[in-house]
Amino acid sequence: MRIAIDAMGGDYAPAQIVRGAVEGLQFLSADDELLLLGQEDAIRAHLPPEFASHRQIRVHHCPDVIAMDDSPVEALRQKKNSSIMIMVKLASERLVDAVISAGNTGACVAAAQLKMRTLGRVQRPGIAVVLPSFHGPLTVCDVGANVAPKPHHLLQYAQMASAYSEHVLKIQNPRVGLLSIGSEEVKGSPLVKLTHELLKRDPTVNFVGNVEGRDLFSGVCEVAVCDGFVGNVVLKLTEGLSDGIFKTISREIADESPELAKRFEPVVKKIWAKHDYSEHGGAPLLGVDGICIICHGSSDARAIKNAVRITIQYAKENLNRVFCDRLTEEEPANA
Amino acid sequence: MRIAIDAMGGDYAPAQIVRGAVEGLQFLSADDELLLLGQEDAIRAHLPPEFASHRQIRVHHCPDVIAMDDSPVEALRQKKNSSIMIMVKLASERLVDAVISAGNTGACVAAAQLKMRTLGRVQRPGIAVVLPSFHGPLTVCDVGANVAPKPHHLLQYAQMASAYSEHVLKIQNPRVGLLSIGSEEVKGSPLVKLTHELLKRDPTVNFVGNVEGRDLFSGVCEVAVCDGFVGNVVLKLTEGLSDGIFKTISREIADESPELAKRFEPVVKKIWAKHDYSEHGGAPLLGVDGICIICHGSSDARAIKNAVRITIQYAKENLNRVFCDRLTEEEPANA
């Protein structure tokens, strides 16, 4: 398979992206290939000499660069020769099988939705992010691709995210929760109530009912579905709050005693290592015809390496075929 | 003034509620009164003898009890003589000036909305919760009263929550953020985009633009507005995640060394004390004609005592008058 990697995307691009790609070579089969997209000089400057003409690495020059804070809509219109735009174009022409980017998320998702078709019965792709909860990985879908979904979209997210959790994270029969504001069926928005009905009737999903914000990390489910607005808030709040709490604790301990702070440090490192998002290598955009992995903006080489690993696993498990088989036939009137 | 307290509501009712009411007496003026509502025997059993016939404490017998997990709709229909229902009835008849409950939140909000009228130009009341962020108190409105608000409702939440932050929390000219999924104006749901326009034009609100989940606790604003669904998820996720992180750290430290764990304990206690929700005494339901304070289900005596304190402050500052003055005249077509 051919995997396109956006070498210009992310806070540590191109250095960490190129390094991560090189480290990802270990997961490739003999006839797999990595395609690094971006400004050729910049990429080559970071490519170690021994990999400069590696037979499984190619560099594809793209003169335009989409910045992390560019407006997605403007960027896609004006920067047609950016790594992101070229990458999805190659995917749409079947010249690559998968795309990976740690760049401007909005631009990347919009580009993928624009150029890569949706898969079979999928109506709208959704981003599934794997959060390291205290009880194992939790897959949340959608976290930003679809801010005003229909109930049928959320049903499909439940079906696809379940399959992802099962096949990529190796969780058997993952429990699926519908994020709401009360565990009772009668609570929630109209979207939640209608989705609840669809999920209850679906035999392919191990639905455990509505879950609340406080349950997300307490191990009541391995998959949570919600609209892209709520999911995005959950994702970013989780990041900001975790970071804030650890900083606060570190500061308080340092105030207490520098010696204690020194002893606390390895404990924090151990916890971060256990709950490191980069372990899961990025968030798949589920439902596109191809493989699209959105990495965190602050991805380092390790995250990119893991993105290559899960991309290969995604392909090996033939996940898109699994999705097509699982997605229910019916498309209700309200979808 | 007369303050009604639901003595049967909350995980530690009636013991902690009654104790908190007694402790709250210190904030009362000579002609203020506390009315304890609930099953008289249960309340009297927890009232210390020296307060049994205190001239500022009265007990109002209510035979029915709404349980924490009762369905709000059913409970209000079937338990007409519960402390919650009687309390809001007294408020609607102006027989009490304020109501406080740590009971079934759904039932309490629904009852208040049902019986207490809305204030002047207020269209829909909203729950404002004060979260102890790392940079001082953050007021989030709404966290569950209004799951499908119109832009004009969110504008009113911004206006009322600003006034609350200013008058009760004593924050000068509080910065107001609109919770969204990107700081750019063009991002977000249709609700967010329309609300953004209203907030930008409003001269009474110190609007700092859209804020993301990760900014909530980083001190970019002192007030955040959002729909009740998102706000409720934010509130509960914050609780669940904070709790989970502290537990994880404690466990990891205990695994490392019991001696280290012992030294870490007071640090944790200090942080919890600094960020203790009960310090802020409950969440006001902004926009009802009267004062309604919703306390956390796990409120202890201290939280109830503080709820009495902020109720008195709310009245002293004549907050409802401030709201009426601030709420803008216009009620746009899309409100």
Question: How many angstroms from the chain centroid is the CA of residue A113?
Answer: 15
For B7, list phi and psi in degrees, rounded to 5. -75, -15
- Average pLDDT estimate for A186-193: 86
Q: Does B272 contact A at CB distance below 8 Å? A: no
Give A254's pLDDT tier (boundaries 50, 70, 90): confident
For A130, list phi and psi in degrees, rounded to 5. -100, 115
Which residue of chain B has the CA closest to A73? B186
Give CA angle at A298 (A297, A303), nearest 5°: 100
Of B184, B212, B236, nearest to A213 by CB-CB distance is B236
CB contact under 8 A, A233 and B234: yes
What was the ipTM of the complex prediction? 0.91
Give CA angle at A138 (B127, A197), nearest 5°: 65
Q: Does B245 contact A at CB distance below 8 Å? A: yes
pLDDT of A137 reads 92
Query: Model confidence over A211-249: pLDDT tens digits?
Result: 999 999 999 999 999 999 999 999 999 999 998 888 888
Of A106, A218, A268, nearest to B240 by CB-CB distance is A218
A239 SS3 class: helix
pLDDT of A329 reads 53
Least confident of A186-200, A274-288, B215-229, B280-294: A274-288
Number of Cβ atoms within 10 Å of the Cβ of B284: 30
CA A201 – CA A72 distance, rounded (Å): 38
Q: Which two tokens stand for residue A26?
A: 């270990």
Strands A175-179 and A223-225: parallel
A147 or B260, which is more confident: A147
Number of Cβ atoms within 10 Å of the Cβ of A93: 9
Q: Does B108 contact A at CB distance below 8 Å? A: no
pLDDT of B5 reads 98
CB contact under 8 A, A216 and B237: yes
Q: What percent of chain A has pLDDT over 70?
A: 97
Q: Which two tokens stand for residue A182?
A: 């009360």
Collect all residues of chain A within an 8 Å Cβ-Cβ radius of residue B68. none
For A255-303, the DSSP string reads HH-HHHHHHHHHHHHHHHHHT-GGGG--EEEETBSSEEEEPPTT--HHH
Chain B stretch 274-333, residues whose beta carbon is closer than 8 A to a beta carbon of chain A:
none
Q: Does B27 contact A at CB distance below 8 Å? A: no
Number of H helices and E strands in chain B, helices first, is 11, 11
Least confident of A54-68, A143-157, A262-276: A262-276
For B329, list phi and psi in degrees, rounded to 5. -60, -50
- Average pLDDT estimate for A145-170: 95
CB contact under 8 A, B241 and A241: yes
Nearest to B41 by CA among B24, B16, B65, B59: B59
CA B319 – CA B328 distance, rounded (Å): 16
Would you give per-residue pLDDT tens digits along chain B (335 residues)?
999 999 999 999 999 999 999 999 999 999 999 999 999 999 999 999 999 999 999 999 999 999 998 988 899 999 999 999 999 999 999 999 999 999 999 999 999 999 998 998 999 999 999 998 888 899 999 999 999 999 999 999 999 999 999 999 999 999 999 999 987 777 788 999 999 999 999 999 999 999 999 999 999 999 999 999 999 999 999 999 998 888 888 888 888 888 888 888 888 888 877 777 777 789 999 999 999 999 999 899 999 999 999 999 999 999 999 999 888 655 554 44
For A18-80, the DSSP string reads HHHHHHHGGG--TT-EEEEEE-HHHHHHHS-GGGTT-TTEEEEE--B---TTS-HHHHHHH-T
Nearest to B10 by CA among B67, B84, B83: B67
Q: Does B229 contact A at CB distance below 8 Å? A: yes
Q: Which two tokens stand for residue B166?
A: 């200013």
Enter the pTM of the model: 0.92
The sign of the torsion formed by the CA atoms of B178, B179, B183, B186 equals negative
Q: Does A215 contact B at CB distance below 8 Å? A: yes
- Average pLDDT estimate for A293-311: 95
pLDDT of B334 reads 45
Collect all residues of chain A within an 8 Å Cβ-Cβ radius of residue B189. 147-148, 229
B251 SS3 class: helix
pLDDT mean across residues, chain A: 92
Q: How far is B212 from chain A (nearest CA, A)?
A: 7
Contact residues for A23 (Cβ-Cβ < 8 A; gap 6+): A301, A302, A304, A305
CA B28 – CA B259 distance, rounded (Å): 46
Of B71, B247, B271, nearest to A252 by CB-CB distance is B271
Q: Which of B230, B242, B243, B260 to mutate to test the interface with A (most CBs of A within 10 A)?
A: B230
Q: Which of B105, B131, B146, B147 to mutate to test the interface with A (most CBs of A within 10 A)?
A: B147
- Average pLDDT estimate for A2-17: 97
- Average pLDDT estimate for A140-169: 96
Q: What is the separation, in whole angstroms, between the first and last Cα of chain B? A: 35
Which residue of chain B has the CA closest to A270? B252
Q: Which domains does chain B have, with CATH numbers?
A: 1-122+287-317 (3.40.718.10), 126-277 (3.40.718.10)
CA A258 – CA A264 distance, rounded (Å): 10
Q: How far is A57 from chain B (nearest CA, A)?
A: 35
Q: How far is A131 from chain B (nearest CA, A)?
A: 12
Query: Model confidence over A59-76: pLDDT tens digits?
Result: 999 999 999 989 888 999
The residues pairing with B328 across neighbouring beta strands, listed in sequence order, are none
CB contact at 8 A, A115 and A92: yes
The residues pairing with A37 across neighbouring beta strands, listed in sequence order, are A6, A60
CB contact under 8 A, B238 and A234: no
pLDDT of B241 reads 92
Q: Does B263 contact A at CB distance below 8 Å? A: yes
pLDDT of B281 reads 80
Radius of gyration in angstroms for the set of CA atoms belonging to chain A, rounded to a whole number: 20
The residues pairing with A206 across neighbouring beta strands, listed in sequence order, are A175
Collect all residues of chain A within an 8 Å Cβ-Cβ radius of residue B237. 213-214, 216, 234, 237-238, 241
The sign of the torsion formed by the CA atoms of B42, B45, B47, B51 equals positive
Looking at residue A214, the DSSP 8-state letter turns out to be G
Buried b vs exposed e over B26-55: b needs ≥16 C-beta within 10 Å?
ebbeeebbbbbbbbeebbeebbeeeeeeee
Owner of token pair 């009267």: B290
For B2-45, the DSSP string reads EEEEETT-STTTTHHHHHHHHHHGGG--TT-EEEEEE-HHHHHH
CB contact under 8 A, B181 and A228: yes
Q: How far is CA B325 from CA B171, B198, B204, B292, B320, in A?
A: 19, 18, 10, 20, 9
- Average pLDDT estimate for A239-262: 87
Residue count of chain A: 335
CA B271 – CA A234 distance, rounded (Å): 23
pLDDT of A334 reads 45
A132 or B64, which is more confident: B64
Owner of token pair 């290598």: A281
